[in-house]
Structures are given as structure tokens and as C-alpha cells.
């Protein structure tokens, strides 16, 4: 007998979802760009929970900017899916019903623009990963040379990028004298709302300076901080869940129990009652963001590159390596924390210890290779800005571990592991980084100088720092000659 697949009829039969109250008001709408696993395990869950405690009825129209995969998983299930929260104590799961439709932008960009222009769309949110913003990570400016940005500038009625969709839909609302929506960035960018606002205004300026001014003065781009570890769902995860639940869910996501969302309370219209379900609505997100970007994301990237090069497939395996675990703890507590102004009530040492425990969760099976993707877009905010802050101090403390981590990333971008086997480096700047390595492979001084001159990643401050340059040459040279394991032993003994 074939296993039934999750859908609305099955959910009602098994009482997997709550029936809406008769007191619920007409639906308000969020259009979400980038309907990946993270959104479904994070913002969508909070919105579903808020609906359960409010008379407002918010729904989400999900948009895939690239492929139909998520649409093909969700739509046959009436857009229902399960969120499995897991830790060493076991699993719990809930069915989420807040997503009402899924659009695939390359198939029908007009449908996406129509949804964004509807008067009941009051929020457009995004989780498109760092590279989706088509910007220069080092400066935060729009990359005007990006081929998709150039295409959107030439034909804004049929955009390819999230930036194009935002400006095109805001242009339609501006021309029709409709109120704007709030743009809610939920990606790991520094001052993510402010950064996205800058990129959008720069793009709009190339279309119509009056539109750019309207966006700048009327459209809010709140800063946010999101935190939840969500590994990619595997076929084994789906099969295991099918056995446990008795039905199939091809859109399921697996995550840890921990979840956090901090939002700058700056909305042009209404919003879900997220504060009722644990979301922090604050005046200033920056202290939370710095703590998370530098400690969680900085450590995650570091363990991903060094761990992958050491031969570890999963994060929890990295944490079982005493030397790597010791390296991470030292980097977080002795090098990163001194650069962070703690949010009120947060103990940064306790937070870093909690992160080390979360990384050690064997139930997640979070792949180092997944975290290692798109490093050129992540390194500035995760590690390089921290190094810049330390170099600016009158008496800089140690930054050896931070520099070792950057050297580990550069070694990873060379496209082969310690055994000499090829690595498929998934990064928008992979070819440019590999070319730098090939042209300067026989001279560590020239190699590091060439890397630091690559201004798409490294700032002028870092390029001009003799301290950073010297340490990067030392550690990259050490890793190239001796490998990660022996080099790490040298670092820990210094």
C-alpha cells in the first residue's frame, strides 16, 4: 500500500492543523522572496504561531527566485509542510499552514510583481543568501556590473533579481499612489535592513531619481537578526520521517529547538503580533546582530573550512576534535568577544558556550560543505570586520585565530583538499580566487598580496595592514606546507 502524501484533506483527517477561528479578520499578506528551508523553519513558524494568538490572519506568498523545486514540493501538499525540531532528547514536529501559494519567478515574473503590488501585501521579506543581494560585500554598494542587475535595469518589467523585483513593485505602487510595503531582510548582512535599503535606492536612482527619493523617505527597511541552525533536508530525513509519521512530506524541514528573531520595530503599516511568540521588537538591533554574526556565523564559517579540510563532513564531528574545539573557543572568547558591545542582559561568554553546545548537536547532521558555500560573500561580516576592529584598537589583543581562520578559507578556495582531491568550490567569485592562486602559487608573499588586492572581499584597511598581511602569510604558508592538523597544533602552542 502506497504511503499517503501530506495535503489539506489528510491534515484535517489527522487533525494536524488548527481550524481558523470565526473571529479572524480578512487576510493580510507577506510576500517572501527566497522560500528555502530557513524561512520555512523560522519566520513562517513565528507567523503561524502569531496567527494562533491574534485576530489578525496573516498569510505568506512564497517566491522562488531560481528553480521550481520548492514549489513542486509544496503545492501538491496544499502548501503544508512539517517542521521537525531535533536534539539529543529526540524529535517533535508541527505542520505549518501559513504559506498559501508558491510562485516561481523565472516562470512568471508578472505574477510575482502582481502579488507584491496588491494592497493587502504589507510586508515583503527576504532570505536569499548573501550573494542574492548583487552587491560588493566589502563596500555594501550595488554591483552595477552584475549581469542580472544590468538585465533588470534594461527590462524592469521582467526582473531576475530580488533587487529588481523590489524596485519594480515599489515603482508600481509609487505610480499608483499606493502606500509602500515594509521590506524585511532576514539574511546575514551587517545592518541588513540599512544595507538592503542602500542597494535598493542605488538601483532605483538609475531608473528614476524621484522614485529613489520616495523609497528613501517612505519605505522602511528594518534591521533584523535571525538565529536558527537549519541543515539541508536529505532523502534519508524524509524516509525516516515517513516511517515515524505514517505519511510522506517532501517539503519537510529539520532544525534545532533553539530559535531567535530580533527586529527593529519600524513598519509602515501593520505586522503580525510576533512579540507574542517570542520575537524581540527593539529600537536597535546592532548589538544582537554583531554578537550573532561574529560569534555564531564567524565560528560556523571557521569550523566549516578548517573542518572540511581536516576531512570532517559534519559540524558535530568537528566539535569532537579537541584541537578544533579548543581553537574555536579561544577565537570566540579571547579574540571576538572583546570587539562586541553586549546587548543588555546578554552574557557573551555564556552565549559562546551555548553556541559550542549547539554546534555539537549530533542530531542535525549539518554539513561543513553546506556552510562553506559562498564564502566570499560571508567573510567580510563574519570575520574580516572583526579583524578590522581589532587592528583599530590602540593595543590590539591577539588575532592569531581569526587570521588562521581566514587562511583556512583561502586554502579551501584553491579547490583541492589535503589529499589532493578536487573540491567543487561553490562561490560566485570562485574562478577569480582560483586565478589569483594559479598566478602566484609559487610565492607566498605575492600570493597574499594578490589576495589582499582583491577588493571585492578585502578592504583597503586590511590590504594596508602590515600586521594582518604578516599573519596571513604566516598561517597560509603554514597550512600549505603542513596541512591543517599540524598547523593547528603550531597555532595552539604559540
> What is the spatial distance between Cα 48 and Cα 25, in angstroms, rounded to a whole number?
15
For the beta carbon of residue 76, count every other beta carbon within 10 angstroms: 13
How much is the pLDDT for 296? 98
How far apart are the C-alpha atoms of 250 and 40, rounded to whole Å? 13
Contact call for residues 150 and 210 (beta carbons, < 8 A): no
Phi and psi torsions of 4, nearest 5°: -70, 145
- Whole-number Å distance between alpha carbons of 368 and 311: 10
The CATH H-level (homologous superfamily) assignment of domain 8-282 is: NAD(P)-binding Rossmann-like Domain (3.40.50.720)
Q: Which three cell numbers stand for residue 477?
A: 604558508
Q: What is the structure's pLDDT at 22?
A: 45
Grid cell 586554502 in the structure block, residue: 411
Q: What is the pLDDT of residue 1?
A: 56
Give domain limits for the chain. 8-282, 286-493
What nine digits make up the cell of 179?
502606500
- Beta-bridged to residue 135, according to DSSP, are 142
The three cell numbers of residue 427 are 562561490
415: phi > 0 → left, psi -120 to 50 → alpha, else beta; which? left
Q: Give the model's pLDDT for residue 56.
A: 85
Burial 248-274 (b: 16+ CB within 10 A, else e): bbbbbbbbbeebebbbbebbbeebbbb
In CATH, what number does 286-493 get? 1.10.1040.10
The per-residue pLDDT string of the chain (494 residues; one tens digit each, 9 = 90 and over) reads: 579 999 999 999 999 986 554 455 568 999 999 999 999 999 999 999 999 998 889 999 999 999 999 999 999 999 999 999 988 788 899 999 999 999 999 999 999 999 999 999 999 999 999 999 999 988 899 999 999 999 999 999 999 999 999 999 999 999 999 999 999 999 999 999 999 999 999 999 999 999 999 999 999 999 999 999 999 999 999 999 999 999 999 999 999 999 999 999 999 999 999 999 999 999 999 999 999 999 999 999 999 999 999 999 999 999 999 999 999 999 999 999 999 999 989 999 999 999 999 999 999 999 999 999 999 999 999 999 999 999 998 887 899 999 999 999 999 999 999 989 999 999 999 999 999 999 999 999 999 999 999 999 999 999 999 999 999 999 999 999 999 999 999 999 98
* Measured CA distances, 483 to 124, 321, 364, 420, 488 (Å): 46, 15, 28, 11, 9
Amino acid at each position: 500500500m502506497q504511503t499517503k502524501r501530506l495535503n489539506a484533506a489528510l491534515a484535517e483527517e489527522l487533525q494536524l492543523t488548527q481550524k481558523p477561528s470565526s473571529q479572524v479578520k480578512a487576510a493580510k499578506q507577506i510576500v517572501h522572496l527566497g522560500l528555502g528551508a530557513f524561512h520555512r523553519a523560522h519566520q513562517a513558524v513565528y507567523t503561524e504561531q502569531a496567527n494562533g494568538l491574534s485576530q489578525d490572519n496573516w498569510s505568506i506568498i512564497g517566491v522562488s527566485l531560481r528553480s521550481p523545486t520548492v514549489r513542486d514540493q509544496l503545492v501538491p501538499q496544499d502548501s503544508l509542510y512539517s517542521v521537525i525540531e531535533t536534539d539529543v532528547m529526540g524529535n517533535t514536529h508541527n505542520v505549518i499552514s501559513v504559506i498559501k501559494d508558491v510562485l516561481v519567478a523565472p516562470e512568471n515574473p508578472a505574477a510575482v510583481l502582481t502579488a507584491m503590488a496588491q494592497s493587502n501585501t504589507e510586508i515583503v521579506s527576504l532570505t536569499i543568501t548573501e550573494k542574492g543581494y548583487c552587491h560588493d560585500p566589502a563596500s555594501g554598494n550595488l554591483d552595477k556590473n552584475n549581469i542580472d542587475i544590468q538585465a533588470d535595469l534594461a527590462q524592469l518589467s521582467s526582473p531576475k533579481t530580488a533587487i529588481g523585483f523590489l524596485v519594480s513593485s515599489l515603482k508600481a505602487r509609487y505610480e499608483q499612489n499606493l502606500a509602500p510595503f515594509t521590506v524585511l531582510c532576514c539574511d546575514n548582512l551587517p545592518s541588513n535592513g540599512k544595507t538592503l535599503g542602500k542597494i535598493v535606492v542605488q538601483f532605483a536612482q538609475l531608473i528614476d531619481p524621484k522614485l529613489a527619493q520616495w523609497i528613501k523617505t517612505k519605505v522602511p527597511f528594518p534591521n533584523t537578526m535571525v538565529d536558527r541552525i537549519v541543515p539541508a533536508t536529505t532523502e534519508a530525513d524524509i524516509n525516516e520521517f515517513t516511517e515515524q509519521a505514517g505519511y510522506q512530506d517532501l517539503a519537510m524541514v529539520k532544525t534545532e529547538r533553539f530559535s531567535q528573531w530580533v527586529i527593529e520595530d519600524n513598519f509602515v503599516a501593520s505586522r503580525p503580533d510576533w512579540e507574542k511568540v517570542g520575537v524581540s521588537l527593539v529600537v536597535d538591533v546592532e548589538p544582537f546582530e554583531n554578537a550573532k554574526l561574529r560569534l555564531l556565523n564567524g565560528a560556523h564559517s571557521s569550523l566549516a573550512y578548517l573542518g572540511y579540510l581536516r576531512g570532517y563532513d559534519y559540524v558535530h564531528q568537528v566539535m569532537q576534535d579537541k584541537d578544533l574545539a579548543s581553537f574555536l573557543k579561544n577565537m570566540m572568547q579571547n579574540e571576538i568577544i572583546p570587539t562586541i558591545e553586549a546587548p543588555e542582559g546578554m552574557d557573551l561568554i555564556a552565549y559562546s558556550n551555548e553556541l559550542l553546545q549547539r554546534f555539537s548537536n549530533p542530531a542535525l547532521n549539518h554539513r561543513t560543505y553546506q556552510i562553506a558555500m559562498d564564502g566570499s560573500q560571508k567573510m567580510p561580516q563574519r570575520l574580516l570586520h572583526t579583524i578590522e576592529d581589532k587592528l583599530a584598537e590602540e593595543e590590539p589583543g591577539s588575532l592569531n585565530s581569526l587570521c588562521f581562520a581566514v587562511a583556512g578559507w583561502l586554502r579551501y578556495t584553491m579547490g583541492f583538499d589535503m589529499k589532493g582531491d578536487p573540491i567543487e568550490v561553490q562561490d560566485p567569485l570562485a574562478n577569480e580566487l582560483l586565478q589569483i592562486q594559479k598566478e602566484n602559487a609559487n610565492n607566498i608573499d605575492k600570493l597574499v598580496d594578490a589576495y589582499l588586492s582583491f577588493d571585492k572581499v578585502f578592504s583597503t584597511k586590511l590590504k594596508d595592514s602590515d600586521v594582518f598581511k604578516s599573519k596571513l602569510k604566516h598561517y597560509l604558508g603554514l597550512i600549505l606546507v603542513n596541512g591543517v592538523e599540524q598547523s593547528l597544533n603550531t597555532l595552539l602552542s604559540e
